[in-house]
Amino acid sequence: MIHIRIITAEEAGPFIPDLCEVLSDCIQGGASLGFMLPFAPEDARSYWQDVLASVKRGHTILAVAQRDGKVVGTVQVGLAQKPNQPHRGDLMKLLVHRSARGLGLSRKLMQAVEDEAASRGRTILVLDTATGSDAEAIYPRLGWQRAGVIPDYALWPQGGFCDTTFFYKRIA
Binding residues for ligand COA, per CB under 6 A?
Answer: 26, 31, 94-96, 101-107, 129, 133-135, 137-138, 141
Minimum distance from CB of 72 to ligand COA (Å)?
A: 9
CA-to-CA distance for 167 and 159, rounded, in angstroms? 24
Instruction: For the chain, give the number of residues.
Output: 172
* Complete edge-to-edge strand list for the sheet that includes strand 60-67: 2-7, 60-67, 70-79, 88-96, 124-130, 161-170, 145-155
Minimum distance from CB of 25 to ligand COA (Å)?
A: 8
Minimum distance from CB of 70 to ligand COA (Å)?
A: 15
In this complex, which beta carbon is closest to ligand COA, that of residue 13 or of residue 34? 34
CB atoms inside a 10 Å sphere around CB 77: 28
In this complex, which beta carbon is closest to ligand COA, that of residue 80 or of residue 95? 95
Rg of the chain over Cα atoms, rounded to whole angstroms, equals: 15
In this complex, which beta carbon is closest to ligand COA, that of residue 66 or of residue 133? 133
CA-to-CA distance for 22 and 160, rounded, in angstroms? 23
In this complex, which beta carbon is closest to ligand COA, that of residue 13 or of residue 140? 140
Q: What angle do CA 23, 165, 61 make, to 5 degrees?
A: 45
Q: What angle do CA 163, 170, 154 make, to 5 degrees?
A: 15
In this complex, which beta carbon is closest to ligand COA, that of residue 56 or of residue 153? 153
